[in-house]
Amino acid sequence: MGFIVGSGRTQGSLFPLALDDLIPTDHVCRVLEAFVDRLDMAGLGFVRAAPAETGRPGYDPWDLLKRYLYGYLQQVRSSRRLEAECRRNVELMWLPGRLTPDHKAIAEFRRLHLMR
């Protein structure tokens, strides 16, 4: 008898291509999405709630808040670790639509909004 062997890395698979297929309908990510999308960010004092007219576009504060709240619920508080999770965690890929801001953008969002 041999060992159990996985499939080859170059072999094609029928892994679902849509991220929405991977997140159950009752998952906490969907609750966070619905909650944050209904917030009045400018009314709550979030800076940069409206996009700037000039310069490089920034990340949407709704997306950064979703990511921050998800990290807080999963006990991921480090900006660098949250950046790494955005690249490997399917749930964090689903929340902002596969955006992967760097740790500096996440830390700056926290600093501007005094989230500790």
Lowest mean pLDDT among 31-35, 58-62, 67-71, 83-87: 58-62
Domain boundaries, the chain: 19-41+59-112
Q: What is the pLDDT of residues 64-101, one digit of tens each?
A: 899 989 999 999 989 999 999 989 998 988 888 888 88
Determine the residue type at 84.
A
Which tokens go with 86? 């955005």
pTM comes to: 0.77
In DSSP notation, 8-48 reads -TTS-----S-GGGTS-TT-HHHHHHHHHHTS-TTTTT-TT
- C-beta pairs of 71-79 under 8 Å, 24+ apart in sequence: 73/28, 73/32, 79/103, 79/104, 79/106, 79/107, 79/110
pLDDT at residue 114 is higher than 80: no
Rg (CA), the chain: 17
